[in-house]
Amino acid sequence: MATTDLTLEQFGTTVAENDTVLVDFWAGWCGPCKQFAPVFEAASDKHEDVVFAKVDTEDQQQLAAMAGITSIPTLMAFRGGVLVFSQAGALPGQALDQLLEQVKGLDIAEVRRMAEEQAAGQEQAGEAPAQADAADGR
């Protein structure tokens, strides 16, 4: 399967509408990105059930900023619309295959439950200071 170039407009839909998505954030001037490109492409041929997407950080600077990209290449894996892996640096082919098997093996219901719990925890943490201020009369 060929890789897909993602833009800001396509990113959310691609992640939400596909079971497993692997995204490579890269730039044309990046040596390690160029070395990793054939490894990423070869993995896309082996794992036809995964969407392989590339984001050119030079062309899609807003998307890269929103994704918190500070170093390239950076790989992100999404399962069921949830980010389950993010790491800067290129992986050798065997490590990439192992990562994909682990991501594909995740229980999607459990991934979503944990994401919901994390989001609820972040909301509570955000509300706690306001509640404390109200209790103190501030």
pLDDT digits (tens, 9 = 90+) for 48-90: 999 999 999 999 999 999 999 999 999 999 999 999 999 999 9
Question: What is the per-residue pLDDT for 1?
Answer: 56
Q: Which listed residue (6, 21, 30, 55) is catalytic?
A: 30
Of the listed ranges 61-65, 102-106, 110-114, the least confidently predicted one is 110-114
Q: Same domain for 95 and 44?
A: yes
Range of 64's domain? Answer: 4-106
User: What size, in residues, is the chain?
Assistant: 138
94 & 111 share domain: no
The reported pLDDT for the residue numbered 39 is 96
Q: Is the pLDDT of residue 115 over 90?
A: no
Co-location of 117 and 51 in the same domain: no
Structural domain count, the chain: 2
What distance in Å separates the CA atoms of residue 31 and residue 18, rounded to the nearest whole number? 30
The answer to whether residues 99 and 116 belong to one domain is no
Query: In this structure, are 35 and 45 located in the same domain?
Result: yes
Judge if 88 and 134 occupy the same domain: no
Question: Are 92 and 113 members of one domain?
Answer: no
Residues in a beta bridge with 56 = 26
30 is catalytic: yes
Selecting among 6, 21, 23, 33, the annotated active-site residue is: 33
